[in-house]
Structure 1
Amino acid sequence: MDKTIPGEQFDLGVCYYPEQWPEHMWADDYRRMQELGFTIIRMGEFAWNFFEPEEGVFTFDLFDRAIDLAHAHGLKVILGTPTATPPAWMTYQYPEILNVSFDGVQYQHGVRRHYNYSSPVYRQYCAKITEAMAKHYANYPGVAGWQIDNELNCEVNVFYSQADHAAFRIWLREKYGSLDVLNQTWGTVFWNQSYSDWEQVHLSRPAPSKSANPHQALDEKRFISDNVISFARLQVDILRRLAPQQWITTNGMFGHLDSHAMTDELLDFFSYDSYPNFSTIWNDADRENPLMDRSYSNQLAKVRSASPTFCIMEQQSGPGGWVNLLAQSAPKPGQMRLWTYQSVAHGADMVLFFRWRTATFGTEIYWHGINDYHNRPNRRVTEAAKISMELGKIGEIIAGSRFAADVAILHDYDNEWDGEFDVWHGPLTRESEYSWSKALQFSHIPYDYLYVQNKTTLHDLTRYKVLIYPHPAIMSEETAELLKQYVAGGGKLLFGARSGYKDQRGHCRMTPFPGLVADLCGVTVEDFTLVLNEASTPNMRWIDGADEAPTPARLFNDILLPENDSVQTLAVFDGDYYAGKPALTRNAYGSGEAYYYGAAFSREVADALIHRLGLAPATTGWAELPPEVEVAIRVKQNRRFAFLLNFSDKPVRAHLLREMDDMLAGKQLGVGELDIAPYDVLVLALS
């Protein structure tokens, strides 16, 4: 069942922390939120001390007053369970709830997310606070739903407390049943690592070498994910039992957590925190035509794969930064609006800005909200008012619509987690996904992410004309069979180097690469090598009649050997000892085609393949857009809406091929040239 925002109403709002502001300010804050057209606020996720100031003593007076006043101003409330920040009285009395570093150093109280998920004591207190809040707020006027914890696995996503070691052993015993199976799965005969008693088994610990057992490392990430989901389930089960009329979500998408399984098993819909200005810190400025803040469209596509319509629980509204790190420049005029519509274009039906007013104390005094410390009008407030006015006109029209795409990039957690440790395939996936996302965006071809799971069906795949599975080193028999059925039925599937050679344990198969998909691709890998630097990177030269210039075949090279006459070599390596050998092949399989590229995909190779695959821009027949403008299509029954987002700091010119309605401006646009201002957004009714 799809996990989506309930109903077809669009909610716009803001994160608010009544415990951080004098109570005499609340009414004026709510009044101005109401005047801006906001309909929803989030609160409570860091307020455990206010709900339980001492062990077993629960008080709700402050938040009752805050919620009552919000409700009187027409504002719905999302209430957070406060388990991201256990109180000092708890960590002092029960230090075993604290997390521990890989080196065995216990983290201390302060900042946030200093707990571990495994502690029986902490789980007991989390259950108690959740139960007390659920009983009190289950039918409370104005409380619309719940956010579990806050940003699970943010800041830290590895855990090494004694409780975690013990929980890992329990998880392994349930998964494998015996030490013999565990030893076989982890290949412990290598380097004499075999275990003869369960008490000998631990999470990774410091060793003479930085290396570790790769199969254990993969299982550790699976354990952490399952443990987080178990921690969330503890709270969700209580809320489902005591507050069944209120929806449940949580926010994030951080490492070592299967957000898709968590959403499927526990949540009504998924929520995400979108901060595109992080791209000014973690950017690709050294690349040609960097994506910068536009790269968050790729992240939003991953969020959409978990929840077709979703909530943005924190939408960036100002410059971000903690006192001592993560400092960002201020969003330029128009960017706050652009980023909001970036979220909406990709499937958000609920958006809350972070935050109402910048904190005057604490770590986040530079993580700016809509209002500044002085509480006087500023350009961010003006921009929020414009966004609210526009979404007030079109929100209910577009709410419930779904993002439309003919292309999907396949992704899975096993390869993501294995690739963190395995440098022979992990870096390839990051490069290829970046390259494809850039090529598709600049070509105006909307795309989805599709996470390969145990529940993935052929129907899930056949929704797309083209699938790109860049480097699935780990591949199960079930997945390989599913992919063969997809291609045989007429689909087009693309692999990159290092595909299919590992089983689910992370063991290398004793069959020719690419293992289970060798017959699908019609090739085997004759030879292979890491490509260690740009200077030693050979080119790939097209030989299929096209006139593209040679392009570097980056990071890793699989030298291919066609195994049947149906295989067509599209390009060869043009350098090193394997010059002239096949680098890119296409194999007819049933009614479809399977491509294998023996390197990491670059933007240039992705562009060339887009042409060969016959993929057309989503604007075909109604517009011609410059590459600076992203296009996204949302569909609702027989209506189609096109979002045009100019990520450039300069005006650009588009060309409309037919008349259409500008939904934000409330006017009709004629055929001809269309100027789009810097950071501007248009929403067009296509049908």
Structure 2
Amino acid sequence: MPHAAPQGLDRLAYGGDYNPEQWPEETWEEDIALMREAGVTMVSVGIFSWAKLEPSPGVYDFGWLDRLLALLHDAGIRADLATPTVVPPAWFYRAHPDALPVSRAGVRWEFGSRGAICHSSPAYHEAAAGITRALGERYGSHPAVAMWHVHNEYGVPVLECYCETSAAHFRRWLTERYTTLDALNAAWGTAFWGQAYGDWEEIQPPRATPTTCNPAQRLDFARFASDSALENFRRERDLLHQLSPGIPVTTNFMVSPTQCDTIDYWKWAQEVDIVTNDHYLVAEDDRNHINLSMAADLTRSVGGGKPWLLLEHSTSGVNWQTRGISKRPGEMARNSMAHVARGSEGAMFFQWRASRFGAEKFHSAMVPHAGTDSRIWREVVALGADLGSLSGLRGTRTVADAAIVWDWQSWWAQKLEWRPSEDLDTRERAEAVYAALFDRHLTVDFAHPEADLSAYPLVVVPALYLMTQAAGRNLRAYVEGGGTLVVGHFSGIVDEHDAVHPGPHPGALRDVLGLTVEEFQPLRRHERVTLEGPDGHRLTADVWAETVVARGAEPVWTYTDGPAAGCPAVTRHELGEGSAWYLSTRLDADGLDTVLAAAGLDARIAPREDLPRDVEVVRREGAAGRYVFVINHTAADAEVPVGGAGRELFGGRRVEGDLSVPAGTVRVLHLDD
């Protein structure tokens, strides 16, 4: 199915997870009335309801859900109807205790939380298909259903299972991937430490070992775990496509690297009808809006730039972080609008009404424990009204200025044991580069290493330890065609099997960067190095240095001290119509900004010096017109040039020239044609 939208919605999606089974039915009508007051257009239902829907094997109780969907339909509120397969009931585990996952250390987790599933379990497959089929048969053509929501947050809190059932499944997966044992032994480098396999049955999951395990085996098991959960999603999706034709099917991603690191979302995004995402601020971060924007941009990117949907975020604090920092006045609206600016077709929350019991009773909600006489409720109602005024932008796409190359599988590989420095951190470098581009007021797409990059004047590779030869050729073609490429240290080192590319480092990037790396030079804890460049301009770095030999590249900054003193530190290589920059060390924020500014000149990206720090300006464009979002995260009013005249959508006033954006607020301008 091509990209789809929730069926029956003529406005942006607004609402949250609704768990009416936690409340007496007399509360439901009050909830519906409050939803209408708040401008709610869609709620997610049934996510954790398996035990209520199927109280014993094969015995179903749909009466309560029939009544709920009728209430929602009568109120004009659409349902994102879930299959509750993230929480098999107690009766299931009593009958099938082997469906509980086993940790790498051999401990079988117990029933009592959520997501405790061995994704290789045949009993789980059968039971999940049973409840999904029953729901699809009963509600496949129900007028309230806008879309189907399979499972919940795959990979959270656990994805990998090391039991015997998973072991057998892993071997089947390996035979499909490699066909022969000779191919597997070659890919895994089993000649090292005498690990060669002579029979498929000898292969086990990479369980706990006395010292480090074969990294190629660990990497393949991570791939297998992501794929085995994807098989389960496909199984439910295909049933729903059959039983509920025309209704899109999704599952909620957790694309932010701070929240889920076990799923290859590039692969998963190809399997859903609508890309949806859950995002929760790292509340204690001083500038947590940057992580939010990064997550939104990454979500949009895995979906190929199409509109997507924010299916969960929070109205205020969450209870599962170290400190449940509450959102300040206006922050909920800024968070929501930042997601919409970056491609979401709405803003949904966990959850509608705050729970009185259970693990998340201190998680914020649209209806808080304080009730409707509260700041949170008043902001919920105001946000609903504002989102209602943005219906016209549905279907438009966010406009990006640059791209960051990101790959989950490379991240998995770099995180394995015995790398040259424990301070090397793929996620940290991606976040640092994103923050630098954010501060230069550039909107970013993320791209797979083998994706077409020709649309972007500037592409940054923060850290890509694992890189295929195809990816290397792709980056070279991008530069030769006129692009500007910036590559971070310790990139291009190994192939898809975690084997070092033949020849000097950085194997897959030698030609495009015009250099070789003779030796890695990890720095001691707290050690710093200094770089000197044009006109004596000095930069500071830490964690890492390299003995770089220029082979066509021009040194721009040189190490003045440390283990690589006298060697090139930052280089620039002209190739074809473009240029490739290399950063052989971990620059601090000022140094990273300096180098990206220089590369930006190569890319002919004009600096936005007219915009204050922490004022976002993001564009969405399409057949419905051109829209500019301005989000002021600061405590000062801002006057922002928006490049045209138009109508401000929150109030309807005409704007020509600069747009006034008070401190802590959001403005959206519909530009004149």
* TM bracket, shorter-chain basis: over 0.9
Aligned pairs for 1:621-636 within 5 A: 624-636=610-622
Aligned pairs for 1:44-59 within 5 A: 44-59=46-61
- CA shift for structure 1 position 391: 1.6
Paired residue for 2:439?
442
- Aligned pair in 2 of structure 1 residues 45, 6: CA closer, same or farther (>3 Å)? closer
- 1:198-234 Cα offsets, whole Å, 9 max, x none, are 222111222222x221111111111111111111111
The answer as to whether partners of 1:432 and 1:601 remain within 8 angstroms in 2 is: no
- CA shift for structure 1 position 444: 0.9
How far, CA to CA, are the matches of 1:500 and 1:85 in structure 2?
Answer: 41
How far, CA to CA, are the matches of 1:493 and 1:193 in structure 2?
Answer: 40
* Structure 2 residue identity aligned to 1:310: W
Paired residue for 2:498?
506
Please, which of 239, 262, 266 is the counterpart of residue 268 of structure 2?
A: 262
- 1:159-179 Cα offsets, whole Å, 9 max, x none, are 212211111111112211222
* Structure 1 residue identity aligned to 2:59: V
How far, CA to CA, are the matches of 1:391 and 1:336 in structure 2?
Answer: 13
1:681 aligns with 2:666: yes
Please, which of 535, 544, 563 is the counterpart of residue 551 of structure 2?
A: 563
Paired residue for 1:541?
532
How far, CA to CA, are the matches of 2:110 and 2:373 in structure 1?
Answer: 40
Aligned pairs for 1:308-323 within 5 A: 308-322=306-320
How far, CA to CA, are the matches of 1:557 and 1:119 in structure 2?
Answer: 47
Instruction: Give the count of matched residue pairs.
Output: 658
1:470 aligns with 2:468: no
- 1:358-394 Cα offsets, whole Å, 9 max, x none, are 0011111101211123533311111111111112112
How far, CA to CA, are the matches of 2:161 and 2:181 in structure 1?
Answer: 23
The answer as to whether partners of 1:654 and 1:673 remain within 8 angstroms in 2 is: yes
* Structure 1 residue identity aligned to 2:217: Q
* Structure 1 residue identity aligned to 2:274: F
Paired residue for 2:342?
346
How far, CA to CA, are the matches of 1:345 and 1:672 in structure 2?
Answer: 19
- Aligned pair in 2 of structure 1 residues 29, 597: CA closer, same or farther (>3 Å)? same
Paired residue for 2:236?
235
- CA shift for structure 1 position 410: 0.4
- CA shift for structure 1 position 195: 2.0
The answer as to whether partners of 2:4 and 2:248 remain within 8 angstroms in 1 is: no
- CA shift for structure 1 position 6: 5.9
The answer as to whether partners of 2:457 and 2:604 remain within 8 angstroms in 1 is: no
- Aligned pair in 2 of structure 1 residues 409, 560: CA closer, same or farther (>3 Å)? same
- 1:60-108 Cα offsets, whole Å, 9 max, x none, are 1110100011101111101110010000001011101111111111111
- 1:316-352 Cα offsets, whole Å, 9 max, x none, are 1122115xx6441221111111111111111110321
- Aligned pair in 2 of structure 1 residues 326, 60: CA closer, same or farther (>3 Å)? farther
Please, which of 380, 383, 394 is the counterpart of residue 384 of structure 1?
A: 380
Paired residue for 2:283?
279
Paired residue for 2:650?
664
* Structure 2 residue identity aligned to 1:233: R
Report SS of the residue matched to 2:438. Answer: helix
How far, CA to CA, are the matches of 1:244 and 1:673 in structure 2?
Answer: 46
How far, CA to CA, are the matches of 2:135 and 2:436 in structure 1?
Answer: 48
TM-score, normalisation: structure 2: 0.93
Report SS of the residue matched to 1:352. Answer: strand
* Structure 2 residue identity aligned to 1:240: H
How far, CA to CA, are the matches of 2:129 and 2:640 in structure 1?
Answer: 58
- Aligned pair in 2 of structure 1 residues 638, 540: CA closer, same or farther (>3 Å)? farther
Paired residue for 2:403?
408
- CA shift for structure 1 position 572: 0.5
* Structure 2 residue identity aligned to 1:155: P
Paired residue for 1:305?
301
- Aligned pair in 2 of structure 1 residues 592, 168: CA closer, same or farther (>3 Å)? same
1:654 aligns with 2:639: yes
Paired residue for 1:39?
41
* Structure 2 residue identity aligned to 1:221: A
- 1:170-203 Cα offsets, whole Å, 9 max, x none, are 1112211222222221112222222222222111
Paired residue for 1:600?
586
* Structure 1 residue identity aligned to 2:531: M
- 1:539-573 Cα offsets, whole Å, 9 max, x none, are 12213x4x64x222332222221213xx3211101
Aligned pairs for 1:418-429 within 5 A: 418-421=413-416, 423-424=419-420, 427-429=424-426
Residue segments in structure 2 that go unaligned for 5+ positions in a row: 255-259
1:363 aligns with 2:364: no
How far, CA to CA, are the matches of 1:205 and 1:19 in structure 2?
Answer: 40
Paired residue for 1:287?
none
* Structure 1 residue identity aligned to 2:622: K
- Aligned pair in 2 of structure 1 residues 410, 194: CA closer, same or farther (>3 Å)? same
Moved more, 239-248 or 154-163: 154-163
How far, CA to CA, are the matches of 1:600 and 1:644 in structure 2?
Answer: 32
- CA shift for structure 1 position 246: 1.0
* Structure 1 residue identity aligned to 2:529: P
* Structure 1 residue identity aligned to 2:546: D
- 1:283-312 Cα offsets, whole Å, 9 max, x none, are 4xxxxxx53233211111111112231111
Paired residue for 2:368?
372
- Aligned pair in 2 of structure 1 residues 175, 673: CA closer, same or farther (>3 Å)? closer
Paired residue for 1:223?
224
Moved more, 72-81 or 496-505: 496-505
The answer as to whether partners of 1:446 and 1:618 remain within 8 angstroms in 2 is: no
* Structure 2 residue identity aligned to 1:447: V
The answer as to whether partners of 1:626 and 1:652 remain within 8 angstroms in 2 is: no
- 1:555-600 Cα offsets, whole Å, 9 max, x none, are 2222221213xx3211101212432211111111111111111123
Paired residue for 1:82?
84
Question: RMSD across aligned C-alpha pairs, in angstroms?
Answer: 2.2
How far, CA to CA, are the matches of 1:206 and 1:527 in structure 2?
Answer: 32
- CA shift for structure 1 position 617: 7.4
* Structure 2 residue identity aligned to 1:139: S
Paired residue for 2:257?
none
The answer as to whether partners of 2:290 and 2:438 remain within 8 angstroms in 1 is: no
1:520 aligns with 2:512: yes
TM-score, normalisation: structure 1: 0.91
Report SS of the residue matched to 1:462. Answer: coil
Report SS of the residue matched to 1:579. Answer: coil
Aligned pairs for 1:119-158 within 5 A: 119-158=121-160
Report SS of the residue matched to 1:605. Answer: helix
* Structure 2 residue identity aligned to 1:258: D
How far, CA to CA, are the matches of 1:479 and 1:25 in structure 2?
Answer: 56
Report SS of the residue matched to 1:279. Answer: coil
How far, CA to CA, are the matches of 1:40 and 1:447 in structure 2?
Answer: 29
Paired residue for 1:286?
none
